[in-house]
């Protein structure tokens, strides 16, 4: 596997023996069980596992939305959360792209993309809008700047959200099944669009999905999580060279990786189904 150098921006995530227990004084539901995972800066790390296994809990801990019970999460060696500081501080260095979208419907696409830097006030308004237009053009969004989110397709809205996140120059993008609601054709277009955006920005990506083909196509590395409580069951290097396009789906190596990982994924899905897990 070759991961692009990202030393200048950073974004390496170190998850060390993390445990998350909900309601420790009552039902004591363990969501994350002594999870350890190192994600190099600039890697696309794909997280696969059954519904309810704790994947989103882990993402939320990195983002600073949830506390952890024990263990440590670091970014570039700096502690985000630990037993002394159970909840990380949210920050523009870690941006979440949500499953259901978070664009402001009353603002144009351009205004949505420019929103974060305008609130921060670190650049002039002219500089912000010039940067926003340039990044939208790089993402294939020219001509949609003055449309509202409801006036463009779901795929284009997803692209606007990613560009809006990148406008803040984050070190890490956290994706929680961002393409789950899209049809298969739109998903395939969005996969290639995401890679195009990634090749230009080289940001670290932590990407949760249930779709094994999506995980293999996009990722440098694939982490299969156990059914709840969540911890890595199998970690696989996706040794298919980048840049990629959809022709790799028919390659012998792609099918070998799919076969190699399918049984592990299905085994955990069966355990989750038997336990009656719910989404989460």
Residue-wise pLDDT tens digits, 69-84: 999 999 999 999 999 9
pLDDT range class, residue 228, cuts 50, 70, 90: confident
Question: How far is 274 from 276, CA to CA, in rounded Å?
Answer: 5
- C-alpha–C-alpha distance, residues 185 and 192, integer Å: 11
- Whether the pLDDT of residue 234 is over 50: the answer is yes
Q: Is the pLDDT of residue 198 over 70?
A: yes
Calpha distance 137→152 (Å, rounded): 16
Confidence of residue 197 (pLDDT cuts 50, 70, 90): confident
* pLDDT for res 273: 67
Using DSSP bridges, classify how beta strands 204-209 and 44-48 pair: parallel, antiparallel or unpaired.
parallel
Q: What gap in Å lies between CA 130 and CA 112, rounded to an integer?
A: 14
pLDDT per residue as tens digits for the range 20-31: 998 867 777 899
Tens digit of pLDDT for each residue in 266-277? Answer: 777 777 666 665
**69 three-class SS:** coil
Q: Give residue 272's pLDDT.
A: 67
Query: What's the rounded Cα separation, in Å, for the pair 173 and 162?
Result: 9
Output the pLDDT for position 66.
92
244 or 50, greater pLDDT:
244
> Could you tell me if 152 and 101 are in contact, meaning their C-beta atoms sit under 8 angstroms apart?
no
Residue 8 confidence (pLDDT) above 70: no
Instruction: Give helix 154-167 / helix 184-201 axis angle, nearest 10°.
Output: 20
Asked whether residue 280 carries a pLDDT value surpassing 80, the answer given is no
What would the two tokens of residue 164 be? 């809006």
Do 130 and 148 touch, CB atoms closer than 8 A? no
């Amino acid at each position: 596997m070759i991961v692009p150098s990202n030393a200048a921006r950073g974004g390496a995530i170190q998850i060390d023996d993390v445990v998350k227990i909900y309601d420790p004084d009552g039902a004591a539901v363990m969501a994350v069980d002594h999870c350890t995972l190192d994600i190099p800066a600039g890697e696309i790390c794909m997280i696969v596992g059954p519904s309810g296994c704790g994947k989103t809990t882990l993402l939320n801990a990195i983002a600073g939305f949830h506390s952890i019970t024990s263990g440590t999460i670091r970014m570039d060696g700096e502690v985000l959360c630990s037993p002394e500081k159970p909840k990380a501080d949210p920050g523009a260095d870690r941006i979440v792209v949500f499953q259901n979208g978070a664009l402001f419907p009353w603002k144009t696409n351009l205004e949505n993309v420019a929103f974060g830097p305008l609130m921060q006030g670190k650049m002039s308004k002219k500089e912000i809008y010039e940067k926003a237009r340039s990044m939208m053009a790089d993402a294939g969004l020219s001509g949609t700047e003055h449309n509202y989110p409801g006036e463009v397709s779901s795929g284009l809205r997803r692209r606007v959200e990613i560009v809006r996140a990148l406008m803040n120059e984050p070190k890490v993008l956290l994706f929680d099944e961002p393409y789950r609601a899209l049809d298969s054709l739109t998903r395939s277009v969005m996969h290639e669009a995401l890679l195009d955006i990634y090749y230009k920005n080289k940001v670290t990506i932590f990407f949760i999905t249930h779709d094994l083909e999506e995980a293999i196509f996009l990722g440098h590395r694939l982490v299969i999580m156990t059914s709840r409580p969540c911890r890595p069951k199998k970690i696989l290097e996706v040794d298919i060279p980048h840049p990629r396009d959809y022709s790799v789906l028919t390659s012998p190596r792609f099918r070998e990786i799919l076969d190699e990982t399918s049984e592990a994924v299905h085994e955990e899905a069966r355990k989750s189904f038997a336990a009656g897990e719910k989404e989460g």
